[in-house]
Amino acid sequence: MEERKNEARYEAMLNQLRLANSELSAALRAAEEENRAKSSFLSNMSHDIRTPMNAIMGMTSIALSHIDEKPRVLDCLQKIQTASTHLMDLVNDVLDMSRIASGRMTLTEEAFSLADMVHDITIIMRPQAAQKHQAFHLEVGQIYEENLIGDPLHLRQILVNIIGNAVKYTQEDGTVHVTVSQHPEQEAHTVQDTDRRIWLDFLCEDNGIGMSQEFLQKIFEPFERVNTAAINRIEGTGLGMSIVKKLLDRMGGTISVESEEGRGSRFHVSIPFAPAPAEERPLPAGQTVLIAESMDSRAQQIAEYLKDGGMDPVRLQNGMDAVTWLAEAQYENRMPCALLLGQELNDMSALDMAAHVRGLAGAEFPIIMIAEADWVQIEYRATRAGVSAFVPCPLFRSRLYAALSELTSKAQRSRSDHTGKPLDYGQYRLLLVEDNEFNREIAIELLSQTGVQIETAENGLLAVEAFENSPEDYYDLIFMDIQMPVMNGYDAARKIRQLPRKDAESIWIVAMTANAFVEDIRLSKEAGMNEHCSKPIDPDRLLEILRKRLSYNQ
Ligand code: ADP
């Protein structure tokens, strides 16, 4: 009897030991796996860092030994530039990954406009696709809510990664098609549901080189890239997709990929957001709006938006018909409240049409151009032709209403008088806050080309003092470095915002920093800064900021 009891006890102990043993083996396997992943991460990293570093060092030596041969030096410098951009991407990606993995990445909950987001993406991606002569379409499907609450910077990071890959891994003359829409289930929502989630669907399809089914299994793992000669020639770190997946997991979103080698890929991303209240704008309800556009689908969409806003659309396809219609309307004193000028007219260019109408209808009449074009590129010609405002495509209701509301309301009409002015920043003054002499010199060199007056401060405290001791509205803009001795840029921005003077709130403060992570952008926003510009400074980005702020003031 006693013997049998002991046997049972031994058996139970043995089972416990077996269990502990298998748990220990599982833990050991996990630790080994983690270790293996870490070592392979490190060896991948050092390989990936070494490759561009070798190019930089090699090209620098070649340039130095041929210093008098300008074309050769130029070629070396261009290669150094490419390699250093790659290195920068790699460092940013790795740091981003480690932030997400260590839980240091926080998601923001802020109101943002889907229209702004989509247009930012278009501005970033279209030139890249154009460089490869690809057909790049960004379409907006059914959107019921344009104002959302979520983390716009991380959303942008996800989309730029996926669409950037589509462009990168698609041959010249290929096609990249992106569609943004709202999940159909949201269509029949009931109002005032505070927990309501808006699911946005992003579809990105390309007819590029595609991936094998085998590779698709590991596409979200760090450093994984399709290992073919064609891919190895294309710049990349193999970290983008893994960052995208991690971000989506944190945001409660999903991603799925279908792909076929040689035929193309299709990425489908769904992300939930909370709805934000829409901005109410006064619209010229009951008034006629003339649409001149020969593209049927576009004209229909514009007409629908106008009707929803209580306006009365009249649509004409030809430029000459529209000019004649307007001339008669003027004669009969029944002018529409605005002209919406499309991209395509059957018989004349949109800009010629604008010039005709401006001559006919006088300086105050709102002419709004709705087009796919890159506004920065046509702005000069279009404003001279008489266009008062531009609404980019894909067309969002909020953008159209904002332009109509602004231009048709009297207060803004006087501003539209100035749209024909040439851009000259000579009358503006900015404060450049930067402790590093070399960086200061570069920024001055880039900024002074616009004629803008520049004053400098060497740290945050001196900047606050300069601002405090200047008359109100003395500065139009402040470029603020972040890491500085005595007082850093965040504290300086906060101090300036707290000063008891009218322009303390309105002065534009632009962060200039070596840190390029979304987290830093969030911090600079929290410190009260309006824009963010990362170093090394991109001259186009600087000009864009000046244009955005200073032209608006003109
Ligand atoms: P990379 O920096 O290499 O682009 P990613 O993590 O963004 O890294 O992507 C991982 C790999 O997945 C890429 O190297 C490429 O082989 C493959 N890939 C991603 N997107 C596409 C696409 N649209 N078409 C074909 N291959 C793709």
SS (H, E, C) 249-314: HHHCCEEEEEEECCCEEEEEEEEEEEECCCCCCCCCCCCEEEEECCCHHHHHHHHHHHHHCCCEEE
Q: Which of 90, 160, 225, 268 to mutate to test the pocket of ligand 1 (most atoms within 8 A of CB)?
A: 225
Residue 185 pLDDT > 70: no
Residue 420 pLDDT > 60: no
**What is the residue-wise DSSP string for 92-109?**
HHHHHHHHHHTT------
Query: Tens of pLDDT along 485-512?
Result: 999 999 999 999 999 998 998 899 999 8
Query: Tens of pLDDT along 302-331?
Result: 999 999 888 899 999 999 999 999 989 888
Q: How far apart are CA 385 and CA 367, in angstroms?
A: 10
Residue 424 pLDDT > 60: yes
How far, CA to CA in Å, does 487 sit from each of 245, 325, 481, 483, 484? 38, 63, 10, 8, 6
**Peptide bond just before 71 cis, omega within 30 deg:** no
Provide the residue count of the chain. 554
* 272-297 residues labelled b (16+ CB within 10 A) or e (exposed): bbebbeeeeeebbeebbbbbbbbeee
The lowest-confidence range among 104-113, 224-233, 323-332, 482-491 is 224-233
The sign of the torsion formed by the CA atoms of 92, 445, 533, 494 equals positive
For 254: left if phi > 0, alpha if psi spans -120 to 50, otherwise beta; the answer is beta
Q: What residues contact residue 315 under an 8 Å CB cut-off, 6+ apart? A: 290, 291, 292, 293, 299, 302, 303
Q: How far apart are CA 155 and CA 138, in angstroms?
A: 16
**Rounded distance from Cα 258 to ligand 1 centre (Å):** 13
Within 10 A of 324 (CB to CB), how many other CB atoms are there?
12
For 528: left if phi > 0, alpha if psi spans -120 to 50, otherwise beta; the answer is left
Q: Is the CB of 408 under 6 A from ligand 1?
A: no
Q: Is the CB of 243 under 6 A from ligand 1?
A: no
* Strand ranges in 358-448 using DSSP code E only, listed in sequence order: 367-371, 389-392, 429-433
The lowest-confidence range among 88-92, 128-132, 148-152, 478-482 is 88-92
**Rounded distance from Cα 245 to ligand 1 centre (Å):** 13
How far, CA to CA in Å, does 245 sit from each of 34, 43, 258? 19, 22, 15
Q: Is the CB of 166 under 6 A from ligand 1?
A: yes
**Rounded distance from Cα 88 to ligand 1 centre (Å):** 18
- Which ligand 1 atom is at minimum distance from the Cα of 231? 16
Q: CA triplet 269, 270, 275: central angle to 5 degrees?
A: 140
Q: Which of 132, 165, 232, 257 to mutate to test the pocket of ligand 1 (most atoms within 8 A of CB)?
A: 165
Q: Is the CB of 237 under 6 A from ligand 1?
A: yes
> Contact, 301 vs 342, CB < 8 A?
no
Q: Look at the pTM and tell me if it is higher than 0.85.
A: no
How many helices (H) and strands (E) in the chain? 20, 17
What is the mean pLDDT of the segment spanning 532-548? Answer: 77
Structural element, H or E, at residue 378:
helix 375-385
The lowest-confidence range among 45-49, 132-136, 528-532 is 45-49
Predicted local distance difference test score (pLDDT) of residue 419? 44
What is the mean pLDDT of the segment spanning 340-348? Answer: 88
Query: Tens of pLDDT along 44-87?
Result: 777 778 878 988 999 999 999 999 999 999 999 988 998 898 88
Per-chain mean pLDDT for the chain: 86
